[in-house]
Structure 1
Amino acid sequence: MRPNLLLKMFTIAGLMLVLVVPLLMIQGKISDRSAEALHVKHQISRQISGEQQISGPLIVTPRIREQLVEKRDCHSGETCTAIEQRRVLDSQVPDLLSINGDLQSEMRYRGIYGVPVYRSVLHIEAMFPANWKAVSEPEQVVASQPPLLLLRIEDLRGLVERPQILVNEVRVPLIEAELLPEGVGSNAVAVALPDNLNGAFTVKVRLNLNGTESLGALPLAKETRMTLRSDWPHPSFEGLVSPVEREINNEGFTSQWRTNNLAAASVIHCAQGGAVCRNHGQALQVRLVQPVTGLLSSERALKYSFLIVGLTFAAFFLFEVLRRHPLHAMQYLLVGLALAMFYLLLVALSEHIDFMLAYLVAAVSCCMLIGIYLMAVMGSFKTGWTFALSLLLVQGLIYGILMAEDYALLLGALLLFAALTVVMTVTRKLDWYAFADPAKTATNAGFNAARSQESSGANAG
C-alpha cells in the first residue's frame, strides 16, 4: 500500500479521535443532567418521604438474659468463656400476615425533572398463635418487661395520620417514641399488649402512608399474603418473590403475593433475633417505574455515535476512491462536528418533548445541514443529498435499535455486517495500488484512453 493512501487513512483515524472530545463533553452534559434529576428526587423525598418498607407487626419482649460469651482478659491470657447478662429483644412472628392496600400515584416536579410519589391506605391483619407467651430457653431469663406489639416503617415522615392499631377489635393507644425500649429502632411504632390478653389473638392496623417510588413489606409470618392496587401503569415487581397474580393495563395494576416462612427464613430469623432487618431484597416490593426518560435514551443513543461517524467517514473515503474527488480533512471534521451536534440537540430537546419527536427533529435538522454543505463541497445536488438521505436512513436504523432493547446487539451486528458487505462489494475490483500512486493512475488512464481510441478506429474501419 502506498504512503499517500496510508496517510489519508491515518488522517481519518486522527479526525475520529479528535471528535472524541465533543462527544465526551456531551456525555458529561448528560451525566450532569442525570445528577440534577437525582438531586431533584432527593429533594422531593426529603419533603414527602422516601421509599417505604413495612416490617411487622411483631410481638417484642425486652428481656435480660444470661449468655455465654468469649473473653480475652483471662488470667492466662488465652480466650475463655464467661457468663454475662445482656439486654435482648425476643420476637414472635404471627402465623398469618395479610396486607391489603391501595396506592394513588402522581408525578411531583421540580423544574423539568420529576419523580413518582404515592399516597397509600394499607390494611394489615395479623393472627398470632395461642402460645405466643412461650419463652425459649427460660433458664437464661433474668428479667422481662411487658411485651409490645411493634411495627416498623422505613420513613415515619410518610405517616399522614397516627396509625390505628386494634387488638381483638379493641383500639390500643400508641406508646410515645421516647418511652420505647432501647434497640427497637428509631422508625418503630408500638403499643403495649393488654395484661389480660391470653391465647390466640388478632391484630388489625390501618396506615395512611405517603412514599416515593417504591413500597414493600417484609414477610414476617409463617404465611404472608399481600394485595396491592394502584393507578400507576408502569410497575416493577422486585424483592423476594414475584406476585402469583398480576394485571397491568393503562389504568394501573393489581398484584397479589403469596409466600411462607420457608421462603423467608433468613429475614424471619433476623427479626426473631431482635435485629432491625431492612433487607430490601427479602421484601415483597413494587416500584413505580418511570418510562424510559429522554436522558437515558440519549445516553444510549450516544453509544452509537462512533458507529455513525465511522460509517459517514467510510462513505466519504469510498467517494474519494471511486469518484477520484479528493476531500479535505477539514471537510471531514466539519461533517463530524455536525454529527456531534445531533447528539447535543437530542439531549436538549428530549428534556422538553417526547424522545421520538426530539430524535426526529435533531436527525432531520443535522442531515439537512450536512446535505446543504455537501451539495456545495461535491459540486452536485444529487450527490450531496444522496449522502444526507443515506445518513438519515442510518439514523432511523439506529433509532430502531434503541427501541428494540432485547435485540439491540443483533440489529447492531447486522447493520455493521451490511455496511462491510457494501464496502467490499463496491471495491471488489478496485486497484488500490493504482489509486494510491498518482503517476500510475495517470499512466493507466492514458493507456485505457489509447485502447479506447484504437478500438473505436477498428470499429470504424
Structure 2
Amino acid sequence: MTSQKQKIGNWLKNSITAKMITVGFLILILLIPLSFVGDLIRERGYRQSEVIEEINTKWGKEVVIYGPILKVPYQTYIEEKVFDEETKTFLKTLKAQKNNAYFFPGELNIDSKVKTQPLERGIYESVVYTAMLKMDGKFINPDFSRKEISKEDILWDKATLLFKTSNLKGIRNTIQVKLGEEAYDLKPKFDNSFMNTLESGFLKNLDEPQNQSLVFKSSLEVNGSHNLQFVPIGRETQVFMKSNWHSPSFNGNFLPDTEGKKISPDGFEAKWKVLETNRRFGQSFFDTLPDLSQFSFGTAFLVPVDDYQKTSRTSKYGLMIIGLTLLVFLLIQISSKIGIHPFQYLMIGLALVMFYTLLISISEHKNYLFAYLVSATAVVSLITLYSRSILKNLKFTLLIFGSMFSLYTFIFVIIQLEDYALLVGSIGLFIILGIIMFTSRKIDWTSTQQVD
C-alpha cells in the first residue's frame, strides 16, 4: 500500500502529464477571480451610464425637432337623422364637424451651430451641447383640392403654426416665428406622445393663401446631449451643421453630402439636402398629424469608445494572457530541472488577474493609455522579479519578461485597432501558436524528470 502511494506521489511530482493537468486545473480556478473582475468592470460601466444619464437629463436629452407646420382648421358635414315628434318621421340634418389640415413648407433651410462641452460629476464625464438653430423658408400654395372642401369651410382665421420637439426642457429661448410681416410666439401644448408640441396663436391677415407664398423665419437655442436630429418636412430641405466636436457620428435616414462634409480635430461641417421624393411621406396631412421622428437625420455627439468599453474588451483576453503566461512557465519547467510549485503558479496567475483591477481603477482617474501602461508595467515587473527568485536563471527570466512584454503590447494594439482587431488578433494568435509548436518540438513528452 505504501509502495503504491509512493508511485502515485512520484508520478504527480515528476510526470509531465501531471504537471499539465495541474496547470490546467489552476487556469480553471483562476477563471473565478477573472469573472469577478469582469463583473466589477460591468458594474462600474453601468454606474457611469447612470451618472451620464442623470447629467444629460438635467442639461437636456437628445433633440429631435421639426417645423414650422401650418395648421388650418376646416369644416366637414355629416348627415344625421333626427326623429320629429310632430310628424312622426325622421328628418335629415347636416352636422358640422371640425377637422385640421397640416401643411409642410415648400422650402426649409436650417443653419445650426453646435457647441459641445464636457460636464463632470465626480470621476464621470458627459458630453453635452448647445445648438443655435436658424430656420427660414416658405409655404407654397396650401392645397385642399384632394379633400374637395369648399372655400367657405376653410377657417383661415383659425390657422396656427406648430413646432414639434422631443426636448422642451432644453429650449433656452422663446420660440418666435415671423410669418410675412407678423411675428408669433409659440407656446407648449400638452401632448402625451414622445414629440412635444409648440403652437402659436391665430395667424393674422391669412386669407386664402393658395395663390401666394408665406415666407417665414425662426431661431432657436437648445441644450441637448447624445443626438441632434431634424425631420425633412420641406419639399426641399437643406441643413447645414457646424460644430467643435471632433468625432461626429452621422446617423438617421439620410447622410450628409460628401462634398459638404469636413471633419478635423477642431470640429466638423456637414450639409444635407433632402427632397420630397427621398422620403416616405407627403407635404400635407388631414385630420391627424403622425409622429415623423422616425424619418429624422442628424449627428450623434458621443465618445466613440470610452475607457470602460476598452477595459471590458481588454478583460476578454484575460484567459489568453493567463494561459499563455503559465504555459511559458510550464515549458521552462519541463525543459529544465527547475521545480515550480503549484502555489507559485497560483501566485503568478493572481498577479495576472490583478492587472485588470489596476486597469479599471486607474483609468477612472486617468486615461486608458496611462492606466494600461502603469498596470502592465507593474504586473510585468512583479512577475519578472518573482520568476527571477524561483527560476534562478537570467536567461529564463529574460524569456518571461520578453513573452509578457510581447503579450501586453499585442493586446494593446488589438484594442486600438477597432476595425482590424479580428484580423490582427487572428494573425497574432497564429504566430504565437507557431512559436509554441517550434519551441516544444524537441521535448520528450513521454519521459519523467527527476527534480532536485
Q: TM-score, normalised by structure 1?
A: 0.82
| Cross-structure match for 1:33 | 44
Secondary structure of the structure 1 residue equivalent to 2:242: strand
Change (3 A) 1:218 1:319: same
* Alignment equivalent of 2:123, drawn from 112, 127, 143: 112
Per the alignment, in what secondary structure is the counterpart of residue 161 of structure 1? coil
Gaps of 5+ in 1: 68-83, 443-461
1:92 touches 1:272 (CA, 8 Å); kept in 2? no
Partner of 2:166: 154
Match of 2:198 in 1: 189
Partner of 2:146: 136
- For the residue of structure 1 that corresponds to 2:69, the secondary structure is strand
- Do the aligned partners of 1:148 and 1:193 also contact (CA within 8 Å) in 2? yes
Report deviation, 1:300.
Answer: 1.1
- When residues 185 and 11 of structure 1 are mapped into structure 2, their CA distance, relative to the original with a 3 A threshold, is closer
Q: Counterparts of 1:149 and 1:214 in 2: how far apart (Å)? A: 25
**1:265 corresponds to:** 280
Matched letter for residue 156 of structure 1: L
Shift of 1:25: 1.3
Aligned residue in 2 for 1:451? none
For 2:407, give the aligned amino acid.
V
| Residue equivalent to 2:85 | none
Return the letter of the residue paired with 1:212: S
TM-aligned CA distance change 1:299 to 1:272, over 3 Å: farther
Deviations 1:417-454 (A, max 9, x none): 1121112112223321124xx5xx89xxxxxxxxxxxx
Aligned mates of 1:85, 1:384 — CA distance in 2 = 94
Q: Find the counterpart in structure 1 of residue 382 from structure 2.
A: 369
Pick which of 57-66 and 189-198 moved more.
57-66
SS state of the match for residue 204, structure 1?
Answer: strand
- Cα deviation for residue 88 of structure 1 reads 5.5
Does the 8 Å CA contact 1:56/1:220 hold for their aligned counterparts?
Answer: yes
1-side partners of 2:194 and 2:226: how far apart? 23
Following the alignment from structure 1 to structure 2, what is the Cα–Cα distance between the partners of residues 85 and 369?
Answer: 87
* Aligned counterparts, 1:32-431, within 5 A: 32-62=43-73, 89-130=100-141, 132-138=142-148, 146-175=158-187, 177=189, 187-191=196-200, 192-197=202-207, 198=209, 199-244=212-257, 245-266=260-281, 273-279=288-294, 282-431=295-444
Instruction: Provide the C-alpha distance between the structure 1 equivalents of 2:43 and 2:193, rounded to a whole number of angstroms.
Output: 40
Q: Flag the 1:291–1:196 CA change in 2: closer, same or farther, 3 A.
A: closer
Kept in 2: contact 1:119–1:208 (CA 8 A): yes
8 Å Cα contact 1:169/1:204 also seen in 2? no
One-letter amino acid of the structure 1 residue matched with residue 196 of structure 2: N
The verdict on how the C-alpha distance between 1:126 and 1:8 changes in structure 2, with shifts beyond 3 A counting, is same
Question: Which residue in 2 is equivalent to 1:459?
Answer: none
Give 1:94 shift.
1.4
Query: Which of the numbers 13, 16, 20 marks the counterpart of 2:24?
Result: 13
Could you tell me the percent identity over the aligned residues? 27
1:316 CA displacement? 1.5
Q: 1:309 to 1:200 in 2, by over 3 A?
A: same
Say if 1:402 and 1:151 are closer, same or farther in 2 by CA, change over 3 A. Answer: same
Q: Is the 8 A contact 2:235 2:276 kept in 1?
A: yes
How far residue 326 of structure 1 moved from its aligned partner, in angstroms, is 3.2
Instruction: Give me the whole-angstrom Cα distance separating, in 2, the residues matched to 1:165 and 1:175.
Output: 11
Distance in 2 between residues matched to 1:87 and 1:325, nearest whole Å:
94
Inter-partner Cα distance in structure 2 for 1:271 and 1:352: 56
**Take 1:115 and 1:211, find their aligned partners in 2: how far apart are those partners?**
11
CA contact (8 A) 2:67 2:162 kept: yes
The letter for the 2-side match of 1:159 is: I
Q: Tell me the SS of whatever aligns to 1:155.
A: coil
Alpha carbons 1:93, 1:272 under 8 Å: kept: no
Contact 1:52–1:153 (8 Å) recurs in 2: yes
**Helix, strand or coil at the partner of 1:125:** strand
- Quick one: which amino acid aligns to residue 268 of structure 2? F
| 8 A Cα contact 2:359 2:372, kept in partner | yes
Q: For residue 31 of structure 1, what is the amino acid of its counterpart?
A: R
CA contact (8 A) 1:57 1:150 kept: yes
Provide closer, same or farther for how the CA distance between residues 143 and 299 of structure 1 changes in structure 2, counting only shifts above 3 A: farther
Contact 1:66 1:140 in 2 (8 A): no
The answer to whether the 8 Å contact 2:103/2:285 transfers is: no
2:285 and 2:374 map into 1 onto residues whose CA distance is 55
Mark the CA change 1:345 to 1:89 in structure 2 (over 3 Å): closer, same or farther. farther
State the AA in 2 paired with 1:277. Answer: L
State how far apart, in whole Å, the 1-side matches of 2:281 and 2:434 are. Answer: 56
* Cα distance, 1:386–1:259 mapped onto 2, change above 3 Å: same
Distance 1:135 1:385, change over 3 A: same
Identify if the C-alpha distance between structure 1 residues 387 and 151 changes in structure 2 by more than 3 Å, giving closer, same or farther. Answer: same
3-state SS of 1:265 partner:
coil
Deviation at 1:154, TM superposition (A): 1.0
CA distance in 2: counterparts of 1:318 and 1:271, whole angstroms: 78
Shift of 1:322: 1.1
Offset of residue 36 of structure 1: 1.4
- Alignment: residue pair count: 415
Secondary structure class of the residue paired with 2:339? coil
Contact 2:102 2:284 in 1 (8 A): no
**Does the Cα contact within 8 Å between 1:213 and 1:289 map onto a contact in 2?**
yes
Q: Which deviates more, 209-218 or 372-381?
A: 372-381
Q: Decide whether the 8 Å contact of 2:104 with 2:284 is kept in 1.
A: no
- Alpha-carbon RMSD across the aligned residues, in angstroms, is 2.9
Please state whether the residue corresponding to 1:219 is helix, strand or coil: coil
Q: Is the 8 A contact 1:26 1:344 kept in 2?
A: yes
* Shift of residue 330, structure 1, vs aligned partner: 1.6
User: Whole-Å Cα distance in 2 between the matches of residues 17 and 272 of structure 1?
Assistant: 66
Q: Secondary structure of 1:432's partner?
A: coil
